[in-house]
Amino acid sequence: MNKPSRRSRGTTTIEDVARAAGVSAMTVSRVINGGQNVRESTRNAVLEAVKKLNYSPNTAARSLAAGEATHIGMLYANPSAAYLSQFLIGALHAARRAGCHLVIESCESEDADEQAEVTRRFATSDVEGVVLPPPLSESQPIIAELAAIGIPVVTVAMGTPAEDSLNVRIDDYAAAAEMTRYLLSLGHRSIGFIKGHPNHIASHDRARGFAAALREYGLDPDEAPIEQGYFTYRSGLAASERLLSRPKPPSAIFASNDDMAAAAISVAHRRGLTVPGDLSVVGFDDTSLATTVWPELTTVRQPISAMAEAALELLLSDLRSRRSGAARHSAERVLEHELIVRESSSAPGALWVGRSRRSRTAPVHTADVG
């Protein structure tokens, strides 16, 4: 009878698995992590024991013993709440799998000194790497400060990643071109475009994609109605007003994100235009806002959660290779986007015909009421 351990919490440990498989704990450890130099038969025996005992390693013990990264920082700034929550969920999943903690800090200021100040908090904390979702992924002060401190970074949706950096993004150019082609194929020939914040490279990529698709259809991008926006709902209101106040208003509006698209719908409604009857409106991102507004937005889906997961994985593998002294390598992962067609877009031409009074009131959806 061996004396009972200090606290027997009934959890199965690596020792239990080792006993069940008839090997040492070390071998079990090897099988679980990578598993180099283990005979096929032993590996199977171990895996079987793991499954039978429903064993899952204790992350605390693992990171303690391995001296691995336990804290990953994340610095965010007021993206849309929908984007942030999606991103956090993805990041949390990846963090859980890796057994590391997510340390989040917010940084709303645009001031370089303040940004550096917030960044330095990570230095005194024990974070070993930082994830930078947009729009902070484009912030030079933060990236520079992190480099000075010596903390590895992975950026998300960064347009022009540096040489030895890690980045995750989608192909904004291709996505914007696809969306534009879709509107063109519907028959639209005058498409208003609302640009994103000029500080973000992604904004320019989307604008270039828009222009490229126009050219494919023999249209001159320079004559297209384009207005500057800043990714905010408010800026979308202003840009839409300008677009619809033009002598020859467009039959469709392509906004660089969902917030501005939602604003476009609002402006259209206030002007007595139906969507999509009188005006098609499409967005970008597919945040929850896209399905909140009425009519629901046709938009481009970014796999936000997956991007967060990919970012964390990239960072952690980089951290691992740094520890083992492997050569530094830059890495970029481009994830798939998807065109989501909903109710806010249709063929043009109903512009004058469909303008009935009735259409200016919201329909009562029975699904909501009953």
Partner DNA sequence: ACCCGTCCCGTTAGCGCTAACAGTAATGCC
Partner DNA sequence: GGCATTACTGTTAGCGCTAACGGGACGGGT
Residues that contact a copy of itself, how many (by CB under 8 A): 65
Q: In what order do the strands lie in the sheet with 153-156?
A: 101-106, 71-76, 129-132, 153-156, 166-170, 331-335
DSSP string, 151-177: --EEEES-SS--TT-EEEEE-HHHHHH
Binder among 47, 66, 319, 347 for DNA (CB under 7 A): 66
Binder among 26, 64, 148, 334 for a copy of itself (CB under 8 A): 64
Taking the least distance from each CB to DNA, the nearer of 171 and 313 is 313
- Using CB distances below 5 to 8 A depending on partner kind, what does residue 288 bind out of a copy of itself, DNA, none? a copy of itself
In angstroms, rounded to a whole number, what is the distance separating the alpha carbons of residues 174 and 62?
Answer: 42
67 binds DNA (CB under 7 A): yes
- Are the CB atoms for 212 and 239 separated by under 8 Å? no
Q: Which of residues 264-283 bind a copy of itself (CB under 8 A)?
A: 266-267, 269-271
Taking the least distance from each CB to DNA, the nearer of 53 and 351 is 53
Closest among 153, 353, 166, 363 to 273, alpha carbons compared: 353
In angstroms, rounded to a whole number, what is the distance separating the alpha carbons of residues 266 and 271?
Answer: 9
165 binds a copy of itself (CB under 8 A): no
Least distance from C-beta 95 to a copy of itself, angstroms? 7
At a CB cut-off of 8 Å and minimum separation 6, what does 31 contact? 38, 42, 43, 46, 47, 50
Residues that contact DNA, how many (by CB under 7 A): 35
Taking the least distance from each CB to a copy of itself, the nearer of 43 and 93 is 93
70 binds DNA (CB under 7 A): no
**Mutual orientation of helices 25-32 and 40-53 as an angle, nearest 10°?**
90
In angstroms, rounded to a whole number, what is the distance separating the alpha carbons of residues 202 and 204?
Answer: 5
Residues that bind a copy of itself (CB under 8 A): 7, 9, 11, 54, 56, 58-61, 63-64, 67, 70, 80-82, 84-86, 88-89, 92-93, 95-96, 99, 101-104, 106, 124-126, 228, 230, 232-235, 237-238, 240-242, 259, 266-267, 269-271, 287-289, 292-294, 360-362, 364-365, 367-369
